[in-house]
Amino acid sequence: MRARLGYRWHLRRPLDERLVVYCAYWGRGYACNPAALHARARELAPHLRGVFLVEPGQEHTLPEGVDHAVTGSPRYWKVLARAKYLVNNANFADAVVKRPGSVHLQTQHGTPLKTMGCDQSVYPVVAAQSGSFTRLLRRVDRWDHNLSANRHSTEVWERAFPGAYETLEYGYPRNDLLLTAGAREVAAIRRALGVPEGATAVLYAPTHRDHRTGFEPGLDLEEFCAAAGDDVVVLLRAHYFYDRGGRA
């Protein structure tokens, strides 16, 4: 309560023109597009001060030297009130106010292959689980810019999350590494993942399905691995919904 009262007080203070607040996956750590933008901003705009928001216990995900604030702390509410720029791949808390002059960038965090946002309103069960669409649209109203990876995503985002924001169809910053990584970086990643030299790596990354409550692979992994042969390594990356509490 005291921290929230402090937030109201900080809202009366001027915006900090050099402060950027970043958050990924509701504070689950240093990840995705916000992390990529934060890292690049440190190189291209060193005059900006970036603060990454993380849940308690996620501080270990932060690279050395990255300033941060823990969710719910007095500093968390202070930087949210004062920041000129706010970057998120999900949404900030409903209590966060869109201040005049502030810039909110929604980066998104995937390609929408399932039913999203207001598109869920035609499915009563899904809609009931998703919560208030009025609250959703209030969050969307805070966005100044919405980052899109491709034309398909743009069409879905603008339909599922209608608002007055500007769509930036520029691609995802987190994917830049796929084009810029050199042979040394690729070799290091393969070693870290346990992919032997000369082997082919196949990534299976099924998304969350809104009509299912748990992870059900659509592929028989044991059969696939047996058929692929010993020179193929299959990597599985589950959706983050199923990575909470070791469920993935």
User: Boundaries of CATH 3.40.50.11820 in the chain?
Assistant: 2-175
Average pLDDT over residues 21-49: 97
List pLDDT tens digits, range 38-81.
Answer: 999 999 999 999 999 999 999 999 999 999 999 999 999 999 99
List pLDDT tens digits, range 168-197.
Answer: 999 999 999 999 999 999 999 999 999 999
How far is the C-alpha of 211 from the C-alpha of 129, rounded, in Å? 11
Residue 177 or 244, more confident: 177
Residue 163 pLDDT exceeds 90? yes
- pLDDT value of position 114: 83
105: which strand partners? 87, 145
List pLDDT tens digits, range 113-161.
Answer: 888 899 888 876 665 666 688 889 999 999 999 999 999 999 999 999 9
Tokens of 42: 């440190």
Second CATH level (architecture) for the domain 2-175:
3-Layer(aba) Sandwich (3.40)
Residue 208 pLDDT exceeds 50? yes
- pLDDT value of position 218: 73
Helix residue spans in 181-239 (DSSP H): 183-193, 221-228
Residue 245 pLDDT exceeds 50? no
- pLDDT value of position 192: 93
- pLDDT value of position 248: 38
pTM: 0.85
- pLDDT value of position 247: 39
Distances (CA, A) of 50 to 21, 83, 87: 6, 9, 10
The kind and range of the H/E element at 124 are helix 124-130
How far is the C-alpha of 40 from the C-alpha of 34, rounded, in Å? 10
Burial class (CB in 10 A: 0-12, 13-18, 19+), 21: buried
How far is the C-alpha of 108 from the C-alpha of 91, rounded, in Å? 9
